[in-house]
Chains A and B, each alone.
Chain A
């Protein structure tokens, strides 16, 4: 695909950037040619985002040079980057919810005049969306759009600003499989129009489907740069982690026991007072992993909160271990042996300003031997914390280090360590491996399976179909607060699940997918 291989479009040479205590980029070289899609692969904290933030003007390198079309440049701000034709779609979209698509596209552009010529702008936006098959309603407000559509608006915004080099930061993290496929078509389209793209990911499959060239970063250094066609997911995983990764996790044969969690006709509202759960019936049995599939925001968080007592049900009943715990207090649910790895790790799951030891004992501190009556025993707490840090391989300088200084993977391990230790009945894990690198993901998955193998019930929310297929004994698909279908884990294929996640009953639309 290298049309103009004589001169690279982007050259980054010897880029170094460090933050307090970490070297994020250590002499990184990067070359991107016109019409090429480059995948930037690496674990969390490998320095992918830092490198791209340097290219789009958010960070400045400590040393190193950047050349665009052979010219040496200093990119001091996103504005400079835009002038050079570089644009980035961030993981969290930078759109104004209450404004329309068109308004968002021109927002912040200085050359639009005092009263922008909306007719002309609309015409151009429509042209662009036609050319790149970026279907979106130009007059809709952002809040009305799905996540996939919002992403298209972000891409349109860049194209409108004449970006030649698009940087996408984990673009598929929030998409359904169908939407991801759309995105892959869009990227191919852009490539055929001569644009280049760099996308950040830690998923092997995406590298294989999206890219021409792949660059693997590990601990701030480039460990490999290869044509995608010449490599395999397995090789990439090994390069990324620095050791062989076992994709298979051994599970004991499935032999479920009695029901631990029974939800009957549960309804609940979200924070805005809209119906978030609609007549949910769901059981989790001992020794079973029930996977909740679905695109984020379809009621998964509310489901977990209703069970753990953090959200009230408006009707229906919640039974845990045969005991009615409908609208019980969080403490009652904890005492019933339920552990919860919440979606929001930094605000809810962990307390960043407190030490690792404090975070590890936030459930067990009520019990002997960590406390008797009202009194806590700091030395026992610290011994308890040390044991967990070792058992769960949490990498932290000390038990007293504040959690906010740990990496994302270690924060999650801290939460898991605490919850699994406190779990005696049911483990609820909401996106437990989201944003984690391969090594940490593997550790998290193993923990879930080992809970199941010990005869506990596991309710496991994920958006990653492969992960669900691998771990879940039973998969329930959620869409807009309802359960679309409950399928045995092994039998469901990706396409069926994808359609269900998008709210389509496959049996109605196409018969052949029933295998």
Chain B
């Protein structure tokens, strides 16, 4: 018997749903094996993780806290990936968003009164993230510079720049040497809805819906699909490829920038260390797991956030390293990537050929 892969004529709806679910189950199995090797019972560990992340109001609100930036960056990355623009710089865009928001919140408070300060601060975060994503887009469309490297490297620039600010000029003089800016005035705080979970959740869900409609039902979304599939064809159809890439990347960056803006105004109320816990990188996994579908992003983000929070919980409760959560995240990605093969192809077993290379008689 020999195994061959056949391209599917039509990607079946069933496979589109089943494959991610089965992939997820396989990753649980792999994680279970890993946990067993560590000497802990996988079932009780998973149960503890689940309980930690979703079992209590407190835990669930912490899961939401992590899910919000994941949703926003996940949407940003998914949008860029639709264009086959490999934006792996969501982390940097998030950070720059946080920086610009902090700038407005810290220094514009005298000029802008009331909740308007929050609005301006959030918008500044979006603009800043957009501009940060605009740099690789500009370099790509004008000079054909590879976007993967530029977005990746700009992450470090952004993170170091924010460190410079809160260790240097923006450091809180009353902060007892703690690395971070002064706290924002309260009119720049994002309202909270439950525990530490804040109103950023509504932005994320609304934007997921809007983006879904934009991609399916607008000319811009149609143009993005064509460019993603074949830039040459898009140009031939009269689509301005460069302009669409620029515009899309600005939106992609703005989404990640908003994630950073919500973090500083909703959680820390200041610019400080640990603005991002790798959200921008996890966003890449989320975009893939959602198969670039904006509607799937919030759900996948919730699962990933649950694993992060659950990982922290098992560290506290069972004495396992908190890296367990990170390892499980990684273990999710592999079956997922492998699984995408099965949505496009189906496996068929065929009879092996009689004999391999054999020339009877011959010339």
Contact = CB atoms under 8 A, between A and B. Distances in A.
Interface string B172-209: 00000000000000000000000000000000000000
Interface of B: 6-7, 9-10, 216-222, 225-226, 229-230, 232-233, 235-240, 353-363
A340 interface: yes
A334 B356 CA distance: 56
Nearest to B230: A351
B362 A331 contact: no
Nearest to B8: A20
A83 B362 CA distance: 7
A366 B219 contact: yes
Interface string A69-99: 1011111110010011100000000000000
A409 interface: no
A115 interface: no
A422 to B, nearest CB: 10
Nearest to B11: A402
A68 B225 contact: no
Contacts of B240: 329, 331
Interface stretch (A30-38, A224-232, A372-380): A372-380
Contacts of B218: 374-376
B363 A310 contact: no
18 contacts: A60-B353, A71-B361, A73-B362, A74-B357, A74-B360, A80-B357, A80-B359, A164-B363, A308-B236, A330-B237, A330-B238, A334-B238, A347-B232, A347-B233, A351-B230, A358-B225, A358-B226, A397-B9
A378 B238 CA distance: 21
A371 interface: yes
Contacts of A340: 236
Contacts of A72: 360-361
B363 A83 contact: yes
A73 B359 contact: yes
Given A74-B358, A353-B229, A405 B363 contact: no
A77 B359 contact: no
Q: Which 8 A-B pairs have the closest CB atoms?
A: A71-B361, A331-B238, A330-B238, A76-B357, A334-B238, A353-B229, A351-B229, A374-B218
A429 B219 CA distance: 27
Interface residues of A, number: 51
Contact of B363 (A84, A308, A365, A400): A84
A60 B221 CA distance: 44
A398 to B, nearest CB: 9
Contacts of A344: 232
A374 B220 contact: yes
Interface in A478-505: none
A287 interface: no
Contacts of A335: 238
A364 B313 CA distance: 55
A354 B360 contact: no
Contacts of B229: 351-354
Contacts, number: 113
A383 interface: no
B237 A20 contact: no
Nearest to A86: B363
B363 A348 contact: no
A83 B359 contact: yes
Nearest to A371: B219
A363 interface: yes
B233 A348 contact: yes
Given A365-B219, A375-B218, A378-B217, A73 B236 contact: no
Interface centre among A334, A351, A352, A402 (most CB of B within 10 A): A351
Contact of B360 (A73, A402, A405): A73
Contacts of B221: 376
A358 B356 contact: no
A294 B356 CA distance: 47
Contact of B359 (A74, A334, A374): A74
B333 to A, nearest CB: 23
Interface string A303-338: 000001010000000000000000001110111000
A375 B217 contact: yes
B236 A348 contact: yes
A310 B220 CA distance: 21
A31 B148 CA distance: 56
Interface centre among B9, B354, B359 (most CB of A within 10 A): B359
A402 B237 CA distance: 18
A376 B357 contact: no
Interface in A352-390: 352-354, 358, 362-363, 365-366, 371, 374-376, 378
Contacts of A371: 219
A79 to B, nearest CB: 8
A350 interface: yes
Contacts of A60: 353
A329 B236 CA distance: 10
A21 interface: yes
B226 A362 contact: yes
Contact of B362 (A84, A164, A350, A353): A84
Given A330-B238, A348-B233, A74 B363 contact: no
A342 B236 contact: yes
Given A362-B237, A365-B219, A376-B218, A348 B360 contact: no
A63 to B, nearest CB: 11
B247 to A, nearest CB: 12
A349 interface: yes
Interface in A191-243: none
Given A74-B353, A83-B362, A401-B10, 14 more contacts: A21-B9, A60-B353, A71-B360, A76-B356, A85-B363, A310-B236, A329-B238, A334-B237, A348-B233, A352-B229, A353-B229, A358-B226, A371-B219, A376-B221
Contact of A330 (B216, B226, B236): B236
Contacts of B222: 358, 365, 376
A452 to B, nearest CB: 23
B345 to A, nearest CB: 10
A20 B9 contact: yes
A95 to B, nearest CB: 25
A351 B234 CA distance: 9
A344 B230 CA distance: 12
Contacts of B220: 374
Nearest to A374: B218
A425 to B, nearest CB: 15
Interface in A260-312: 308, 310
A158 to B, nearest CB: 14
A310 B360 CA distance: 56
A479 B338 CA distance: 51
Contact of A74 (B226, B238, B355): B355
